[in-house]
Structure formats: C-alpha cells, structure tokens
Amino acid sequence: MEYRSLGRTGVMVSELCLGCMNFGGVTPEAESFDIVDRAIDAGVNFFDTANVYSRGGSETTVGKALKRNGKRDRIVLATKVHGRMEDDDILAVGNNRRHIIQQCDASLMRLGTDYIDLYQLHRANPEIPIDETLRALDDLIRAGKVRYIGTSTFPSWRVMESFWVSKELGLNRFVSEQPPYHLLDRSIERELIPLAQSYGLAIIPWSPLARGFLTGKYKRGEAIPGDSRFGNDAGRGAAMERRRDQHFTDLGFDLLDLVTELAGEKSCSPSQIALAWVMSKRGVTSPIIGPRTMAHLEDNLGAINVTLDAEDHARLDALAEPELATVPYYHGRLVNFRASDYGWL
C-alpha cells in the first residue's frame, strides 16, 4: 500500500479509502467488523462514511469496529453532513450552521470519538451562503471537534468561491473534494483536477466502479441480477431507472468489454483494472471503495498490484475520451440530491 498527502495537509492517507456506506445496512455487523480489520491489516488507514448512511447506522458500526480493535488513532476518519436525518423535521437537513453543529455532535457520539479527521459537506446547498457554512465549520475546527474540512460533488466554481471566502474572512479552507470519477464520467478532468493541482486540494473519487457497472457482473443483452445495485434500483422510481439506462448503453458495454479484455491480459478482475485506472490518474489522492462483502474487499485490494502502461491508457482513452462524460454523474439530482433517492434512509 502506498500513501499520499491529503492535499496540502501533509497527512498521509492510503491510496485506497474504505467507504463504509454498506455498514449498518446490507452488510451484517460482524462482517463489517471483519472488513474493517482486514482493510487495516492491508494498510488502509483512510475511512469514509456519512451521517445519512443507514441514518447513522454506518457511523455507529464504524465506531464499534474501531473501539473493538483499538485502532482509532491509526485511522484518518472522514464523515459527511448535509442530508436529511429526520423525515418530520424540516431543520434536520442542509448546510446551515444549526444543522452542521448539531450533526457533528451526533456523528461524534455515534463514531465514539472526540474528533473527526475530515468533516465534509455531502453536497452543495445553493440556498445557504457559503460564509454561513464556513464559519460553522471553522468553529468546529477551533473547538477541536474537527481537524480538516472538505466537500463532495461540488462544482469547481463553488470550490473556488469557498477558497476566496475563506481567505477574505480568515477561515479554515477546504482541503479535499469528493467527486464522481470513473471511465464513464471523466468530466472532472476539465476544471476540477487542474484546480486541485494548483491549490493543493485532495481528490477522493467516489464510485470509481460506476455503481458496480465496471465490475464485469453485467453482460450485454442479459437480464440484470436482482441482487445487484442496478437490479435493486429498478423498483425505486423513474430517476433510478434512467440512471441505470444511462450506464447500459452500447458505449458503456464497449468500455466494459475493453476493461474485461485488459483484465484477462493482466490476470486480474475488471474491477481491479477500473480501480487501477482511477488510482493512476493525475491529481487523484485516494479513490473510495465500497465493499459489501469480504470478497469485494479482497478484490478491491488487489488493484494496488495492477499497473497500466501508456498503451493501456491509450486503448482506454480511445473509447473513454479524456474529459468525456458518457454518464453525467453531476447531472440533476446527483448534484442536488435527496438521501431517499439513494436508498440511504
């Protein structure tokens, strides 16, 4: 396992980040504990969760796991705030000061820790002035509850605006951004990656496997397995079905065929090729893996041993052109989302 600086902070994090969204939900508690222990043994020291994942269930499970193995101090622990936490409480959502401070305290309790290493805004909140949000986050840092702050799925201009406001008001600035990034959506290469390299911003990609499409489990013309991510999406409304259909295109399957072909040449899995591609891209700090089972984790960990050369990149670029968004993850509710759209409630 290699380690990279979390932006300009100097905090060294593993080249893979363990995403904990499935903990407290589809992954049983005992298996979640085993996944955490195995990831740490493999050298992963960077964990990411969010308060909305299973409405606090993920944070609770992560907290229990780290208390059980006694390795909290060896982990860079990240969580997120923004999504609705109570169906009948209009105050329990957003990037306003009240919600951020309230939810930080709740996350600390669930995680069983005195501090959060990286506290991130899960999405932008255009209705709330960014100075309101940054002042609240700055106060949390000064109170010792949070070490660093970051964002997730913020457009480049919003990140840049936040830098300007932080400088003008003398506030702590964001050190990281979590964007969607994979072979089907390379749009962050246009502006976000150059911005990150210029201003020392860590890039922590989510969904590097395109919601599991690039794992190779789906076949052209075959029925979608009912227990898969896209299979489960089918019953959750038109938005989810549209998202599924955006992946299952001729170009999408052409890319998957090439990824599978490269996997055969390198004696690895398609998901390892897709992960190795993200890890190798300029500006990327640590892509987030989201294993549901121990087998998923073992497969994901194998990506650190896969190397893509210039010819491999050229073959992939021929189909997944640089800066191309075959599936635009920044479109619509993927920017202004409701947690219920993702089945997190």
The residues that are catalytic are 53
Q: For residue 82, what are its two tokens?
A: 């923004």
The one-character DSSP state at 83 is: S
Contact between 101 and 60 under an 8 Å Cβ cutoff? The reply is: no
- Element spanning 178, H or E: strand 176-178
Q: What share of the chain is helix, strand, coil (3-state, %, to 5)?
A: 45, 15, 40
Rg (CA), the chain: 19
Q: How many angstroms separate the Cα of 142 from the Cα of each of 80, 111, 135, 159, 244?
A: 18, 20, 10, 21, 43
The pair of structure tokens assigned to 54 is 């299973």
Report the first-to-last Cα separation within the chain, whole angstroms.
34
Contact (Cβ atoms closer than 8 angstroms) between residue 111 and residue 59: yes
Please tell me the distance from the alpha carbon of residue 196 to that of residue 189, in angstroms, as a whole number.
Answer: 10
> What is the number of residues in the chain?
345
**Tokens linked to 81:** 């705030």
